[in-house]
Every structure is written in C-alpha cells, then in structure tokens.
Amino acid sequence: MSGPCIIVGYGPGIGGAVARAFGREGMSLGLVARNAAKLDAAVAELEAAGHAAAAFPADAGDAASLSAALSAAQDRFGAADVLVYNAATWRSGPVLATAPAELDADFRICVTGALTAARAVAPAMQTRGHGSLLFTSGGFALHPNPIAPTLSIGKAGLRALVLMLAQELAPAGVRVGMVTVMGRVQPGTEFDPDSIAASFLALHHGTPDPATAEHRFG
C-alpha cells in the first residue's frame, strides 16, 4: 500500500487539482495550509468524492510549524510517498520599495519551507528507494519581473533548490521534479489546473533523472 500525497500550500487551484489527481491514484491526502477553516471544507469535499483526506494547518514560512504538520500527516497516513510543495506568496513591487524583512519572509515561504519539507520526507524515501518530491515553479523563475520582486527571487531560488535535489536524490531512486507554469492559472484555459495536475502525476510516474526534473507548462 502506497503512502500519502502531502500537499503543502493547498488551495482550490493547483493544489485542489493535484489532490484530486493523486486521490484517483488511491492515495490518501494530507493538506497543509494556514487557513484551517478552508482546509476543513476542502477535506469534506474530497471525502465526499471518495478520497481519504485530512487537514494539517501550518505556516509554510515557519519551519517549526511546517515540520510539526508534516510529522502529524505522516503519523496519520504513514510515510509520504509524494510531497507536493505549492506554497508561495505574491507581493507587488517595485523592487526598491521591498523591505528586506518582506523579502526574508517571502523567501522562507517559497524556498526555505521547500527545503524544510524535503528534509522531513526525503530520508524515508531514500531508505525505501522510491518516492517523489514535486514543486510548483513559475515563469518568474526564468523571467524575473519587478511587478513581483519577492516571488521572482523566490521562484528562482526554488528552481535552483529543486535541480540540486534532483541530482542528490536520483541515485537513491527518489524522483524530484517541478512544474514550471509559464502563465496565469485559470480553469478552461491553456493553464487549466487539471492539466497542470496531470504534469505533476506524469513527473511522479517518471524515472528519477535530473535531466527531466523540470516540466515547463505553457
């Protein structure tokens, strides 16, 4: 029996679509985000559709909070078979108007939290010789834009982290990948969340290989 899919930064867009996609694979679902009420509503919806799911409220930018949630999710469902890290935040520019403390806070959500999550689940995956660490990247990682300075820096940092993790973990059989979404996520468009979720699922089923760690969507 496979372990759960834990989604950090769960929301109704990409997070919801990913939950449905991996739920159809028979995986239990651990949902992590800050808003407990919204998580509870999402769990009820997923359970109504026949999926096993539970909420684990936490702040992805707080390492202790995130680590506790991931530990609780694995206590509930078993060691994670899939981690999907989808946490990020938008803060408008311009660049010089961004306070250093704001950059630090947003970097913790986008990058430091991703490393915290990986450290929480990867060792067991290495021991088992399988598992997937998957991340949501975006076009700002490749084309930084002063309208969103902290997100541009965060996604670039996340991309570097993922590519390094892919090199480090592939020899142990652990799949590391990211879906780089090159446009605005919106149902019924080229960037429909369900289509994006299919890319996450394809990465999970792919062979661990740093050369195929990034899937650019769009």
pLDDT tens digit sequence for 13-32 = 999 999 999 999 999 999 99
Sheet (strand 132-138) strand order: 53-55, 29-32, 5-8, 82-85, 132-138, 175-181, 214-217
What integer pLDDT is reported at residue 2 of this predicted model? 79
Task: Identify the pLDDT of residue 1.
Answer: 55
pLDDT of residue 26: 95
Cis upstream peptide for 144 (omega within 30°): no
What confidence tens digit (pLDDT) does each residue in 115-143 have?
Answer: 999 999 999 999 999 999 999 999 999 99
Average pLDDT, integer, range 81-100: 97
- The CATH architecture that domain 5-217 belongs to is 3-Layer(aba) Sandwich (3.40)
Place 51 in a pLDDT band, splitting at 50, 70 and 90.
very high
Look at residue 102 and give its three-state secondary structure: helix
Is the pLDDT score of 91 beyond 70?
yes
Q: Taking 80 as the threshold, does the pLDDT of residue 155 lie above it? A: yes
Kindly list the domain boundaries of the chain, sorted by start residue: 5-217
Task: Show Cβ contacts of residue 65 under 8 Å, excluding neighbours closer than 6 positions.
Answer: 58, 59
CB atoms within 10 A of CB 113: 28
pLDDT for position 38: 96
Task: Dump pLDDT digits (tens) for 34-50.
Answer: 999 999 999 999 999 99
- The pLDDT tens digits for 59-78 are 999 999 999 999 999 999 99
pLDDT tier, 171 (very low <50, low <70, confident <90, very high otherwise) = very high
